[in-house]
Amino acid sequence: MASFVIAVDGPAASGKGTIATRLGRELGLPVLDTGLLYRAVGVLTAQAGGNPDDEAAAGATATRLTADLLADPALRTRTAGELASRVAVHRKVRERLLGFQRTFAAQPGGAVLDGRDIGTVICPDAPAKLYVTATPEIRAERRWKQLEGQGEAVAYADVLADIRRRDARDGARDAAPMVAAPDATLLDTTEMTIEQAADAARRIVEAARARWERSH
Ligand code: DC
């Protein structure tokens, strides 16, 4: 049987990570936060003294990336998010991370992947696709609270500026820009609690699963 892949795309702090984690837990599917791959490439490139804006330097790091490097809490910081967005513009980086993501998606039974280009580039045939959004202001508020919880003190206005800058860079790049797949279901979580967003996502996926099972 083909694997049931759930693609959860959307901008930073839209709720896609929490939604992906919950869907994975409820359906018993493995989850890959693909942002961590770009975060790791960004952080490791900078740590090695390389320039994240240099395609060759970031591309070389992407070749060396292994799954065990993804658990580092340093990848969750604000700096790591910015570095990730910078290395993510490079085609070489994206190409080198493609195989890892597709192998993960091809696991028997299926998988959940969250990111920016899962439904468009990594798994264009995924039977379930969500594009999760929220206003920049509400996303900044969520990210600000999350950073505070991690002990990273930062002004709300700076987090909002980060979010806007990353949205602009991720959406405007030539290589796999952040965009909703034409067949993705849009889920705007601006006015939703996380419980409501997770419930809405579950209903979308249940409907997609029923369609998929009829055709397999
Ligand atoms: O989801 P995140 O905030 O951890 O992602 C960090 C950056 O990585 C994001 O600004 C753009 C990049 N990214 C990407 O280009 N493609 C993905 N599939 C996931 C993340």
> What is this structure's pTM?
0.96
Label residue 49 exposed, middle or buried (CB < 10 Å: 0-12, 13-18, 19+). Answer: exposed
Decide if 174 is inside a domain. yes
Residue 166 C-alpha to ligand 1 middle, in angstroms?
9
Q: Residue 124: which CATH number?
A: 3.40.50.300
The residue whose CA has the least distance to atom 15 of ligand 1 is 88
Q: What does the pLDDT look like over 156-200, one tens digit per residue?
A: 999 999 999 999 999 999 999 999 999 999 999 999 999 999 999
Decide if 125 is inside a domain. yes
Decide if 53 is inside a domain. yes
Residue 128 C-alpha to ligand 1 middle, in angstroms?
20
Structurally, the chain folds into a number of domains equal to 1
Decide if 215 is inside a domain. no
- Given a contact cutoff of 8 angstroms between Cβ atoms, the answer to whether 5 and 103 are in contact is no
Look at residues 16, 35, 7 and name the one whose alpha carbon lies nearest to residue 187.
16
Residue 115 in contact with ligand 1 by CB distance below 6 A:
yes
Range of the domain at 118: 4-205
The residue whose CA has the least distance to atom 20 of ligand 1 is 35
Decide if 168 is inside a domain. yes
Residue 115 C-alpha to ligand 1 middle, in angstroms?
6
State mean pLDDT over 42-51. Answer: 97
